[in-house]
């Protein structure tokens, strides 16, 4: 149906360094440069005047501005002014604003919380990760103003992936299915956090919770009495019954359903026996 269905995910399957070295040549030079800026050591040359600050200073200044006044307030001028320098000074550290935003996104993600030791069952560990990621996104709602899935992936992004792959790898699924479960958990976690992120953004703009609720409710409420939306109108006008959940409880409720689904699949599959060799070797 979609063209996307014609593309396999070979990029995330059975990789090895040789493939990557060969493949990275094809990457658009600008994208490669942006990626390198996230991973490189960025050690300064010895010649010339001493730099007055570091790339990380720039990133931290930008993050503080975003935190205070939203992503729109992050202008090259605002960032440099916060450091006490002129606009163009930043261009000695980042070639353009996109590269700076890449760095901001990765830095803002931070590291996932340390895994608890001794490791518990995978379900509890995955749930902890999911809540932690949601909390991270809600704490930095301005991140949602960027299409940051498309951005180059930096070390912090990878560290979040690592932190959930670790418990997922203990489920006993083969690598392909383990990767699928990664998509399921991460997809749910990000997608189901959007409402809370939206509220967090409103709060950051100084909107009260009541005002945000009123704004969202006003739009949703248009369904009431509108013949185009009978099922939804019935849903939101139904008595809420016993105990309405908080947003976070709702998120956890949904997460438990997702984990149930994964568990059911695990129960229906024969455990995967890991091979002693871990190098990828294509079948003959």
Partner DNA sequence: TGAATTAGCGTACTACGTACACTGTACGAG
Partner DNA sequence: CTCGTACAGTGTACGTAGTACGCTAATTCA
Is residue 152 close enough to count as binding a copy of itself by CB under 8 A?
A: yes
Is residue 218 close enough to count as binding a copy of itself by CB under 8 A?
A: yes
Is residue 110 close enough to count as binding a copy of itself by CB under 8 A?
A: no
Rounded to whole angstroms, how far apart are CA atoms 27 and 23?
Answer: 7
Site string for DNA, 39-58 (x = CB under 7 A): -----xxxxxxxxxx-----
Asked if 137 and 144 count as a contact pair (C-beta separation under 8 A), the reply is yes
Site for a copy of itself in 242-281 (CB under 8 A): 242, 244-251, 253-254, 256-262, 264-265, 275, 278-281
For DNA, the closer of residues 73 and 266 by Cβ is 73
Please report how the helices 122-139 and 175-191 are oriented relative to each other, as an axis angle in degrees rounded to 10.
40
For a copy of itself, the closer of residues 104 and 262 by Cβ is 262
Rounded to whole angstroms, how far apart are CA atoms 170 and 53?
Answer: 44
Length of the chain: 284
With tokens 């809370």, the residue in question is 196
Which structure tokens are listed for 156?
Answer: 């912090």
* Contacted by 8, from a copy of itself, DNA, none: CB < 5 to 8 Å by type: a copy of itself
- Cis? peptide before 118, omega within 30° of 0: yes
Site for DNA in 65-124 (CB under 7 A): 74-78, 80, 85-89, 91-93, 95-98
For DNA, the closer of residues 46 and 246 by Cβ is 46
Q: What are phi and psi of 245, to 5 degrees?
A: -90, 155
With tokens 């139904």, the residue in question is 238
* Contacted by 110, from a copy of itself, DNA, none: CB < 5 to 8 Å by type: none
Residues contributing to the site for DNA (CB under 7 A): 44-53, 74-78, 80, 85-89, 91-93, 95-98
């Amino acid at each position: 149906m979609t063209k996307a269905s014609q593309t396999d995910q070979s990029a995330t399957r059975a990789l090895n360094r040789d493939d990557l070295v060969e493949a990275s040549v094809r990457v658009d030079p600008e994208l490669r440069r942006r990626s390198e800026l996230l991973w490189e050591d960025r050690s300064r040359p010895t010649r010339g005047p001493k730099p007055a600050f570091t790339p990380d200073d720039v990133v931290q200044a930008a993050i503080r501005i975003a935190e205070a006044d939203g992503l729109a307030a992050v202008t090259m001028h605002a960032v440099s002014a916060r450091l006490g320098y002129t606009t163009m000074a930043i261009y000695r550290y980042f070639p353009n604003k996109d590269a700076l935003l890449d760095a901001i996104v990765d830095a803002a993600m931070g590291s996932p919380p340390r895994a608890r030791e001794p490791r518990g069952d995978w379900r509890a560990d995955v749930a902890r990760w999911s809540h932690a990621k949601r909390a991270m996104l809600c704490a930095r709602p301005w991140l949602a103003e960027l299409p940051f899935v498309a951005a180059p992936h930096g070390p912090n992004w990878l560290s979040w992936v690592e932190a959930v792959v670790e418990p997922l790898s203990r489920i006993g699924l083969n690598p392909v299915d383990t990767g699928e479960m990664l998509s399921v958990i991460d997809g749910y976690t990000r997608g189901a956090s959007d409402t809370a992120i939206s509220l967090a953004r409103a709060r950051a703009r100084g909107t009260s919770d009541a005002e945000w609720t009123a704004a969202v409710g006003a739009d949703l409420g248009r369904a009431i009495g509108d013949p185009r939306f009978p099922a939804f109108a019935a849903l939101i006008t139904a008595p809420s019954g016993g105990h309405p959940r908080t947003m976070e409880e709702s998120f956890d409720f949904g997460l438990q359903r997702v984990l149930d689904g994964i568990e059911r699949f695990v129960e229906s599959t024969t455990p995967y026996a890991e091979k002693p060799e871990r190098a990828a070797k294509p079948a003959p």
